[in-house]
Structure 1
């Protein structure tokens, strides 16, 4: 367990009579970004609040670098940095005043506070705003200050709850790149309900729906969760749609251009091989054939249905 940064075992929590999350299990063994996905109300925030020691779980255990969070909360929290969905900023303080306050809360030794502040500011690209009032910063730079307070004490784990929420496209890109830099020497848990954000940022994915974990694997496995059921064929001598629809297992044919057809099929993707053979014998002069992956939204929908069935 000492080599594991985070270990979550049979984590469950009940509000009044209802379970918010039930039997959540996962590990983070290395640096990098883990995406915690789920629709609003799925149980993401409950999970993250327990991970950060804000909420005591009803059942199960959380270990941070081998320390049981429930048994030794102070020791575990020293290794955790947290940015909630609404950054805990004091708007009437300057960036330096705020980060000094955060360093004191984190019990950083006085002779090391200045170095810790400068390191966090440099990593987050806010050194030039040291004496600026936080209320006068843009949304993107306020978020950077929020991330700076989460990493000022050099934690092993950084938990970010919807860190790009409410930002414009340029700010999202900047914060996304910052998170990737932070993850070079830390484990980062990144919560989002926006699938494209997870795809652009995360290495591995956990998805929670209706309080249960319905997926835990790599981003690539998430992309490929649903077997393809359509392909695109480009042909120099394209046949009529009815000719393609006569091929066994072909359900629907739609021509995108006069020479490019989208073909929906039932059964195995091996139908692509049959279409290649058919193209040779029929003289369609095939230029390209490509299976189409399911969209992230379709994967999300399928996993959500799985949670409902359970």
Structure 2
């Protein structure tokens, strides 16, 4: 049975008169990667800052491995490793100097320091840069050093805020692999506003919009929950728009070019089978048909409509 490392219950926070988040609840299990997804300003950073003890919540509770973060912050924070969106690196230190400094801040015992340093560097693939100044590292390796400081004290929870932000595609792939490696013996949560990042790395998804949780389930459930509502089709003998709109599920059809049309529909994706069948029957000569990827804004709109209320979470 998987152990619950993090339990967040009815978390709310208010800045002046405005609520940044309201009634946020979720759990993170051991050896799981949870993606906190939301558009800019949705409440992700507030949630992450409270989770790391940087900010005190207005109401609600957080426990880390059974320790209440607000009541016993020092003991709870010992179990947390945090990489903010901008890594807190000292550019004029070498990799070893910086990581030793971070380990001392985390109260790693002197007798354990060497092993902790070597293990963190090995996990993050930066052992060969031990004596390199951090300012002389590429963006991808600086990010690895930032992750190394977050795990050097062997926390039970690793919190990563936009860990692939600003990296090139190859660096992003390497950081994804690293996050999966870390999750083998830790609970991991990372935030992102990029859907593909969460889908590529996480087993669980929590989505926040306007300070409210609009989705909380596994990645598989998420992929089943969200369905495309647009497709594009190319015909050799394109039909009239009226013929396409006459299909019961179709709500709109717009030609993007003389032979390519974008079709908006409601309901299931079986509409594609109907278009194929009609094409054969009417000699439209269908050449290509594909569903369009749903944008993040459209996903939030769909989830907001499907959610029974602002404070409820789909099961």
Measured against the shorter chain, the TM-score band is 0.7 to 0.9
Partner SS, residue 71 of structure 1 = coil
8 Å CA contact 1:223–1:295 kept in 2: the answer is: no
Q: CA-to-partner distance for each residue in 1:105-134, whole Å, 9 max, x for gaps?
A: 222221111000000001111111111122
Q: Distance in 2 between matches of 1:268 and 1:142?
A: 45
Q: Distance in 1 between matches of 2:248 and 2:2?
A: 56
2:253 alignment counterpart = 252
- Going from structure 1 to structure 2, the CA distance change for 1:109 and 1:285 (only over 3 Å counts) comes to same
Q: Distance in 2 between matches of 1:279 and 1:45?
A: 49
Q: Distance in 2 between matches of 1:246 and 1:133?
A: 66
- Going from structure 1 to structure 2, the CA distance change for 1:40 and 1:278 (only over 3 Å counts) comes to closer
Q: Distance in 1 between matches of 2:137 and 2:290?
A: 47
Q: Distance in 2 between matches of 1:304 and 1:267?
A: 17
CA-based RMSD of the aligned residues comes to: 3.1
- Going from structure 1 to structure 2, the CA distance change for 1:155 and 1:257 (only over 3 Å counts) comes to farther
8 Å CA contact 1:83–1:147 kept in 2: the answer is: yes
Q: Distance in 2 between matches of 1:261 and 1:88?
A: 49
**Runs of 5+ in structure 2 lacking a partner?**
311-315
2:129 alignment counterpart = 129
| Deviation for aligned residue 1:146 | 0.8
1:110-121 pair list within 5 angstroms: 110-121=110-121
- Going from structure 1 to structure 2, the CA distance change for 1:246 and 1:38 (only over 3 Å counts) comes to closer
Q: Distance in 2 between matches of 1:47 and 1:256?
A: 45
Q: Distance in 1 between matches of 2:197 and 2:6?
A: 23
- Going from structure 1 to structure 2, the CA distance change for 1:8 and 1:252 (only over 3 Å counts) comes to same
Partner SS, residue 5 of structure 1 = strand
1:166-205 pair list within 5 angstroms: 166-205=166-205
2:164 alignment counterpart = 164
1:92 alignment counterpart = 92
Partner SS, residue 131 of structure 2 = coil
8 Å CA contact 2:180–2:201 kept in 1: the answer is: yes
**Runs of 5+ in structure 1 lacking a partner?**
none
Give the TM-score normalised by the residue count of structure 2: 0.83
Q: CA-to-partner distance for each residue in 1:263-282, whole Å, 9 max, x for gaps?
A: 43345444445446546655
Count of aligned pairs between the two proteins: 307
| Deviation for aligned residue 1:82 | 0.4
8 Å CA contact 1:223–1:293 kept in 2: the answer is: no
Q: Distance in 2 between matches of 1:280 and 1:201?
A: 41
1:3-82 pair list within 5 angstroms: 3-82=3-82
The answer to whether 1:240 aligns with 2:239 is: yes
- Going from structure 1 to structure 2, the CA distance change for 1:254 and 1:80 (only over 3 Å counts) comes to same
Q: Distance in 1 between matches of 2:167 and 2:254?
A: 41
Q: Distance in 2 between matches of 1:9 and 1:229?
A: 34
8 Å CA contact 1:224–1:294 kept in 2: the answer is: no
8 Å CA contact 1:245–1:253 kept in 2: the answer is: no
The answer to whether 1:139 aligns with 2:139 is: yes
Q: Distance in 2 between matches of 1:161 and 1:113?
A: 26
